[in-house]
Amino acid sequence: MNRKEAIQIISDRIGDEIIVSANGFIGRDLFEINDKENNFYMIGSMGLSSSIGLGIALKKPKKRVYIFDGDGNILMNLGSLATIGYLKPRNFFHFIFDNNAHESTGGQPTVSNSIKIQKIAKVTGYKIFEVRNHTELQKVLTKIKNMSGPTMIHIKIERNSKSSKRVKHDPIHIRDRFMRSIK
């Protein structure tokens, strides 16, 4: 399964929920597959999608917040796992698309294959799921439907340097429509 296929499946299943996407190819894929007003495309500030999502989840406890994160991104902000595990937001769902690479910068390796990001999350207090293929992803998406967070869904994906087009919305427009949509 590649990143775009995984993002397609998740988008089809979670419906019209809040999504915060990491910078790089993840946000571009989301933009191409499922552009909507309550997507916050983080195009700069590497590593911070989980933290931005945490801020939203704490202030909008009745809405589910989905984070589309990458291995490179979360490795830059492992501290956020400690804060999230401590605060335990029940509406926080954290997808990690792990291709063991910084795909957006040319496919340089990350250390994710040698460590287990999901186990780090588990000891901070997350519930965790591991996914390696379409079938497992579909099963986990059914399971988390009636579950509370913080939950991490770690998805092993293939490398795929084919990128979607850049997010074409102006950042101020991304902000305005996001703020309008979440009320």
| Residue number, 43 or 141, with CB nearest to another protein | 43
By beta-carbon proximity to another protein, the closer residue of 10 and 57 is 57
What is the 3-state composition of the chain as percent helix, strand, coil, each rounded to the nearest 5?
A: 45, 20, 35
Q: What is the DSSP string of 126-145?
A: -EEEEE-SHHHHHHHHHHHT
Count how many Cα atoms sit within 13 Å of the Cα of residue 82 in the half-sphere of its side chain.
4
User: Which residue, 14 or 174, is less far from another protein as judged by CB?
Assistant: 174
Q: For the CB of residue 146, give the shortest distance to another protein in the complex, in Å.
A: 24
- CA gap 13, 34 in Å, rounded: 11
Closer of 91 and 100 to another protein (Cβ): 91
Shortest separation between residue 49's beta carbon and another protein, angstroms: 8
> CB count, 10 Å around CB of 86?
10
Rounded to a whole number of angstroms, the minimum distance from the CB of residue 156 to another protein is 26
Smallest distance from another protein to CB 101, Å: 22
Q: Where do contacts with another protein occur on this chain (CB under 8 A)?
A: 20, 40, 42-45, 47-60, 77, 79-80, 82-83, 87, 171-172, 174-175, 178-179, 182
27 near 68, Cβ under 8 Å? Answer: yes
